[in-house]
Structure 1
Amino acid sequence: MGNRRLICAVFLFWCGVSGTVSGIAPGIAPGRIGQDLSRPVVDFEKQVLVVWGLGGTPWEESSSYEEEKARAWMNALHQGYEAILGIPLMEGLSVRNALQMNSALKERLGMVLLSAPKKFFEPDLTGLLRCKLEIPFNGAVSLRSALYLAALRPQPMEPLPLLASWASLPSAAASGATSTTPSAATSKTVLAGTSTTASATGSATASEAASPATSTTASGAISTAASTKGSTAAASRAPTAFPDEFYGVGVKRVILDLRRTNFEPSLFPRFFTEEGYLLYQEARTPSPDRFSRPAIRFTQDIAQATNGLSESDIRYVSARLPLLAQHDVKISASEQSAFLAFCRHLDAEPQGQREIVIVYDSRAFLGGILPKATAPAGGKPAKIQAPPKRRKR
């Protein structure tokens, strides 16, 4: 009996020590056994940032207990701030760089941290207090609502067609034009690689620019490519006709399968045409109800992407990553009109049921030198043919 009690005491002591090292409160703090709760967890699938704060051991039941709770909360706030700085905001811009360019965002970010829901856990066997802080990505007071102004600022290294779309899209929407693309908003717009300067309004023009060919759809007109004689490539990239249900309430979810690519989630991913024009970004939604729910979701399971909806409510759109990009997405030319129409309905009703789901893969891709080829197991090694002998003259 004595040996059994000794074994139980040693086991309980070991559980307490392992809980202290790994940051787990045994029997109190939720989570799997062996899960490291001492590090912040940036979960783009659940759209939340989870951090844990650690306090000391209270020596009194009244005053010191509240002090240790405040110390644990302060520790969680510090870890949450450091974790937010490393989150990618968009392509080529992180939250850390955005705060350096605009110091006013620090106050908004501090308000998000102070208003984040927190949960305290009672002291465990180690006697330490823990505080769990969950910082949401969406909501009235969230990361997207606090940092969306930084995503609206164009970067100096962006291509000229993208810089043109920053001003062309809002001007076309304000004037009530039938098209929301920069190619149709301006009379003559140069595509990627054909312009040298940009005008003051943000549209790139040239004297010998060909008028782009437009196709009328249920959502408006969208430009595809410049009309040139004998050009078969432009004809093959012309948008195909889609059923009218795709532009209305028929389709509620658009799925982009970006597995086997180097895509990484960010707070404000951007969607471009093949020519480099901006089609959609959640930060540009002109509605007070924006960021009330995630308009763009990320998942690593293709089965979860289609969960809850029928096949008639789902549409797969062909997309790819631009060269040397990890957070931007390019929509294929044959589906630009359909994707743009869906995004227009998404902007008109931010609290509706429409959403964009991106399926990605978080596995690291192998790179570098290829492994040396070897002979198959159980097979004979390949014979090395001797070099031919030189003929004697």
Structure 2
Amino acid sequence: MQHRIIVLGAGYTGAVAAGRLAKRLHRDDVALTLVNAEPDFVERVRMHQLAVGQDLRPRPFGEMLAGTGVELRLAKVTGVDVDRRAVSVVDADGGTGELEYDTLVYALGSGWNDQGVPGVAEHAHEIASRPGALRLRERLAGLDAGQPVLVVGGGLTGLEAATEIAEARPDLAVSLAVRGGLGDRLSDKGRGHLRKVLGGLGVTVHEHVAVTGVEADRVTTADGEAIPAAVTVWATGFAVHPIARATTLATTDTGQIVVDATMRSVSHPDVYAIGDAAMAMGPGDKPLRMSCASGTPGAWQAADAIAARLTGGKIPTTSIRYFNQCISLGRREGLIQYVTADDRAVNAALTGRLAALYKELVCKGAAWGVAHPTLGLPSRRRRVLREAARPAPAAEAAA
């Protein structure tokens, strides 16, 4: 019998994991299914570009998975029963079904997080998804010169959104609201360059501001200030897909699946979680942040661990670490902040046009890695050596 591996979600991590598993394992021994609601790969790290009117290259999974042996199931996941080892789906035509698995790779990722702030869901825009970016694109295109656009959130997503909008639409009054200080997790050099770029683009920065409400034409803050906003872009972090929390998997309070160093669930050894859906510990015993910088190495780790356990190979032990934070500041400027293994900024930073080119290469490399997830792997597909038509018993979870 073939060992049934199902990968849920075809973002960066899910697609990479599926392709890497296809290379690691022999298709006669493994039935590998990738479940995703959309037929095309979405470059999530470019949604701010899509929002300002730039067109992105189509990347259909039919082409990307051709010849790999991975079966694509176009369907929306509606539930996971980890005790029965079954996934409930609704297909593109509205039909329902159930998929049984022996090993599950959970990579459903995350969406925007309204943080429970009143008015966000009704009035704010998000760029955590393609539909959200397209809605914002249409709204921005309809704005007249001089109208105010406010981006809320001082993380990487907020910085990229504010600078992209300001560069693409210099006729708009773009502002940025951050809860702390601008770039307070960057080095002195990084913060200085960030202020210089924002100033050059005419972006007004509101620091140490907590937004407590969003209306159609403004936001209100904790100190009673009203900031005008014909459009509010909400970029205050991500919330994971709610399905995992509804299962018997061990999850955090935020719904992330708790995993070990091989991305294997600590409660269900036949389940692996990768990307934003996983709570994995990194260097310094700190949780890995939601990002491609965490998710892609985690996908490699999970795929290699699954293959090793099925074939009797060596289980990977290399820990995931960070090297830099890459921030695009429009199409002509960028900031590469170098960091320690546990993601703390160091003095070194790359800025300017060279940093923008570096970030562009990172984005292209991430998309290329989805289509070519086997870089550096041996060309020979390995046959399953164990009697592994079913996953190892729970007692082997500590192996």
Normalised by the size of structure 1, how large is the TM-score? Answer: 0.24
Normalised by the size of structure 2, how large is the TM-score? Answer: 0.24
Structure with the greater alpha carbon radius of gyration = 1
More strand by share: 2
